Structure formats: C-alpha cells, structure tokens
Amino acid sequence: MIEPPAASRYAEAMYRRTFLASTVGLIAAPIPYTQLYGTGGIAPPPPVASGDSIFEAWKQGFILRTASVGLPMARVNELLAGLTPDPRVLAADQRQPELSRSMGDYLAGSVSQARVNAGTRQRTEGSVWIDPIAEQHGVPAEILVAIWGIESNFGQNQGDYDVVRSLATLAAEGRRRQFGESQLQAALKIIIRGDAPRERLKGSWAGAMGQTQFTPEDYLNYAVDADGDGKRDIWTSSADSIGSSGNFLARKAAWRRGQGWAKEVFLPTDGSFDYGLSEGERHPWAWWAERGVLPMGGQAWSPADAEEAAGLILPAGWSGPAFLILPNHFAIRAYNNATTYALAVGLLADRIAGRPGVLAAWPVETPIALADRIAAQQALASLGFDVGEADGVLGLKTRAATRAWQRTRNMPADGYLTFGLIQALKSQAGLSSVLPVSPAS
C-alpha cells in the first residue's frame, strides 16, 4: 500500500482546518470556521462555568509539567492567567462532514482561476526574492507559491483563533492531550524567547499559525529568517514564510530536487487494465508503460522522474482522472497528510508554472451522506471484509476492503465507493431496510 513517509508533519493532520483524512474525494472539506462561527477573533473569556474546573485542574498540572522542561513558571502562569477553553475549538475538532464533496468540486474551489491568477502574479512579481529561496532549498518556486496560496491565500487568511487558547483547549479536553501540550509548550517558548509577542500567535483552531500555517513546533524547528532582518517572522514577512516552507519541505519532508510530484496518465480502456493496481506497489515509469499506461497530453517524463518508483492513484475512481504520483507527492503531504491536499498544491503549482491542469474530466457524483458512508463500512464488515472502525471515514483500509469486494463482483477494483455502489453493497448485506437512504440528489 502507498503510505506517507514516517516524517509526517502532522500525524495529526486531522485537526487541521482542511479536508480530514486521506480519503480521496469522498470526504468534504469542512466548512470554513468563519462561516460556522463568524470571524470570532480572540473571544472575551466567557463567565467561568462549572465544567471549567476540569480546565483549571488541567492547567495547574500543565504548568507544573512545563516547569520540568525548563520554562519559567512565573512567566507561564502570567501567560495563561484568565485562560478559558474555547468551545469553537471543541466543535471544530469533533465535526464530521455530513455530505461528501466530489474531488472535482473540491479542486474547482481550491485551484480556482482566481487563485491561479493571484499565484501567477505573486510568482512573477516576487521572482527576485522567491527564486533564490527556491534554488537554496531545491523546491520549485511554483510549489512554494502554491502552498502559500492554499495555506493562507498568500498571507491574507492566517486564521484569527488565539493559538494559545486553542491548544490549551485541545490539551485539556484530553483526546489530543499529547499534541496539545507539546504544541502549547512550543508556543510558550516562542513567546518567552521573544520570537513573537503573545497577541501575534493567531491561527487556525488547531493551532497552525501564520502565512505558512506552521504548528508552534514546526516554527521552532523549521522557520527561517529569509529576509535577513534577524527575526523569523512567518506572520508579516512573505520571504520568511516562503523560506520557511522551503526549509520544511527540504529538511523535514525530504523534497527531491529536480523531480516532479505527479503526472496525469491515460489508462487502457479495452478492459485489460487492472484498476486494483491503484494505491498499490510503486514502480518505475517503464513498468507502467508496459501495461499500456500513457502520459496524458504527451507530457514527457524527465529521466529523473522516469527512474523513480511511481504509484497509481484514481482520486475519483476508475472513470475519473488517473495520476502516477512521485515521492514529492508525499513530501507535500508532510505539510498536510491528505491526497486531496497534495493534489490541490501540485495542480495549482502546475497551473502557476504555465502547465495545463487536469485534462481528463472529473465525474459528476452524487454526494454521499455520513450515514451511508457508515452503512457501506458496516455492509463490507458484515460481508467479511475488514474496514477497521466504521467511522464514516473512507480511508485506506475501507478502500482496500472495497477493492476486495469489487473483485468478488467482477467490478473494476478501484476501491472507490460511489453512491450507486453503496446502494448495491447495502442491498447485498441486507442493510437497506435498517439504515437511512441518502437523498438521490
């Protein structure tokens, strides 16, 4: 199976504000928090409720644990004084998308023409300072600009949650204690060292900050001073932001200089191709070519790319676009471990570089309700296929189970559950009368 590298920026990618999990196109990007909760900002502390005694107890314990890693207790006390949990953070952490969103719809939003235009302009106007950064880290300028665009709309949307409060909320709630505490310690370190004042540490509900949407730990480990003013400023310096992303991709994600990230391909349509090869073993280009896989639009493979082991993905199933993904696809996923994210960054970068976008058409899909996603997993389990937990997240394990089921029915084994396939699965497992049926809209 295709697995991301161990050095993943977020094993916890799920608590970022974007597209949960690595389900390919079946999970919707969550609604932006501004839509759900208003623009918010640092909310005034609400009156202390009785439940806040749990938060207070956690806070006192945390302060003691923080002292043991060398942070000055008096200063930490002062920084956390009056802090209360943020209910918006808990709501965002627990949110499950009700309806799936198709890959085509998702990419139309994240790689919009407006964003391509803005990225192209930034790339052109900033070449004097972007090009040396790209050269230094060996990461193409268009990849750095695309990440900048997707993470913060080129610095414009950095999020306005109070990062200290968000991380404290996640830590106190318990489910994310280890992540919350270690990131909160890193955030306090940033403030105490004087890298940034407390009020500048704003970001996403999950604690990602600045134009790069770095976690506090990634800031400490990978942020760089690219504009030479002596400060590592990912909040107001575009050069520091681009430089920090480049440093992160080169050092943490092992970006391979001189290589691409993926190539769209054309698969044989004569029925000979085994779609079960998707998300399977990786092979060099020549291996795929022997099986009739052709580069889409005549895009040639560079010698460096052709030698790499490439894996096949079918983000919208066998009837949609197909890609051979290269190691740099997984480097992008060190930023956010989702296929959807890597495709958005890579495709936006391609467009900024003047290359074509996706040539094959994305299929028109019926959205799938959460209840149906869970029902599909329950049906697969009842038929003897291992899906892990039936949680509505159609991840690698569910997709492997789907492939196995598809083989028993002589279907293309792409592992991709459409609305129609889910109805067939439920019917075969005798579940259709028990669970709600999605509206066929």
Q: Which residues pair with 209 in a beta bridge?
A: 203, 214
- Strand ranges in 51-200 using DSSP code E only, listed in sequence order: 161-162
For the bound state, the minimum distance from the C-beta of residue 240 to Ca ion, rounded and expressed in Å, comes to: 4
Which of residues 238 and 336 has its CB atom nearest to Ca ion in the complex?
A: 238
Give least dist CB 329 to Ca ion, A: 30
Query: What kind and span of H or E run contains 113?
Result: helix 113-125
Residue with Cβ nearer Ca ion (236 or 299): 236
Assign 369 to helix, strand or coil: strand
Q: What tokens were used for 163?
A: 């990062």
Structure tokens at 16: 């970022």
Q: Tell me 15's DSSP state.
A: G
Tell me whether residue 26 or residue 234 sits nearer to Ca ion (CB atom). Answer: 234
Which residue, 177 or 231, is less far from Ca ion as judged by CB? 231
User: Nearest distance from residue 221's CB to Ca ion, in Å?
Assistant: 17
Closest CA to 288 of 304, 303, 277, 276: 277
Counting Cβ atoms within 10 Å, is residue 270 exposed (0-12), middle (13-18) or buried (19+)? exposed
Cα 296 from Cα 128, distance rounded (Å)? 33
| Phi/psi at 83 (5° precision) | -70, 140
Residue 118, both tokens: 């803005």
Closest distance of CB 201 from Ca ion, Å? 17
Tokens of 141: 């300028």
If the CB atoms of residues 243 and 367 are measured against Ca ion, the closer one turns out to be: 243
Q: Is 71 exposed, middle or buried (0-12, 13-18, 19+ CB in 10 A)?
A: middle
State in angstroms the smallest separation of the CB of 406 from Ca ion.
53
Residue 266's DSSP bridge partners are 294
Cα 147 from chain centroid (whole Å): 11
Residues 69 and 65: their CA atoms lie apart, in Å, by 7
Q: Which residues bind Ca ion (CB under 5 A)?
A: 225, 227, 229, 231, 233, 237, 240
**CB of 237 vs Ca ion, minimal distance in Å:** 5
Q: Which is nearer to Ca ion, 151 or 233 (CB)?
A: 233
Residue closest to Ca ion when measured from CB atoms = 225
Q: How many residues does the chain have?
A: 441
Beta strands at 322-325 and 294-295: parallel, antiparallel or unpaired? unpaired
Please give the structure tokens belonging to residue 336: 């956010």
For residue 315, what are the β-bridge partners?
Answer: 317
DSSP string, 206-239: T--BTTTTB-HHHHHHH----SSSSS--TTT-HH
Q: Which is nearer to Ca ion, 196 or 401 (CB)?
A: 196
Minimum distance of Ca ion from residue 133's CB (angstroms): 12
CB 244 → Ca ion: shortest distance, Å?
A: 10
HSE toward the beta carbon, residue 345, CA cutoff 13 A: 31
Q: In angstroms, give the least distance from the CB of 239 to Ca ion.
A: 7
SS3 assignment, position 295: strand
Pick the closer one to Ca ion by CB: 239 or 267. 239
Q: How far is the CB of 241 from Ca ion (least distance, A)?
A: 10
Residue placing its CB nearer to Ca ion in the complex, 85 or 126: 126
Minimum CB separation from Ca ion for residue 194, in Å?
A: 14
- Report the residue number, 37 or 129, with the smaller CB distance to Ca ion: 129
Closest to 201 (Cα-Cα) out of 212, 191, 211: 191
The residue (of 133 and 429) whose beta carbon lies closer to Ca ion is 133
Which residue stretches of 206-338 are H helix?
Answer: 216-222, 238-247, 285-290, 303-307, 327-333
